[in-house]
Amino acid sequence: MHRTFLLAAYIWLTFSGTLHFLIDVVSQYMRRKHVSGPETTLYYGLNTSFALGQIVFGLLCLWLVWQAPELSHQRVFTTVSFAAAAGWLAVTFAFMSYWEPRVNVIAFGILLAGALLSR
């Protein structure tokens, strides 16, 4: 059950990060919703780094869970994951005014908590 929760958490993180990138960066850019300027650059930069960070971290952890399952039972693995979730949550509250990224990170944290409790 522990491995299932971990896989669900990292698949969710990768999926939600991909959707965040496609919706908040690619579609906004394609529709030219923002006029050129420093604010637009910061908007795209923040959302790109936020989403791609989630995707890369999620893919790395998925690879680790599949290739080295004994590593996923160590406390360091879940501690780093909870620290990453806390960091993303802090970014959403500090810099993002919409609620969807917050819900995605909270769902990731709940799945991680399930994995920790099912160990």
Tracing tokens 């690619």 back to the chain, one arrives at 26
Give the mean model confidence (pLDDT) for residues 93-101: 91
User: Do 2 and 32 contact (CB within 8 A), yes or no?
Assistant: no
pLDDT band per the 50, 70, 90 thresholds, residue 87:
very high
Question: What pLDDT does residue 5 have?
Answer: 92
At a CB cut-off of 8 Å and minimum separation 6, what does 93 contact? 102
| DSSP for 79-119, written as a single string | HHHHHHHHHHHHHHHHH--SSHHHHHHHHHHHHHHHHHHT-
Rounded to an integer, what distance in angstroms lies between the CA atom of residue 64 and that of residue 70? Answer: 9
Residue 18's nearest CA partner among 64, 56, 71, 46 is: 56
Could you give the 3-state DSSP secondary structure of residue 40?
A: helix
pLDDT tens profile 26-63: 988 888 887 888 888 888 899 999 999 999 999 999 99
Could you give the 3-state DSSP secondary structure of residue 13?
A: helix
Say what the pTM is: 0.90
Per cent of the chain over pLDDT 70 is 100
Question: What pLDDT does residue 51 have?
Answer: 95
User: Do 10 and 119 contact (CB within 8 A), yes or no?
Assistant: no
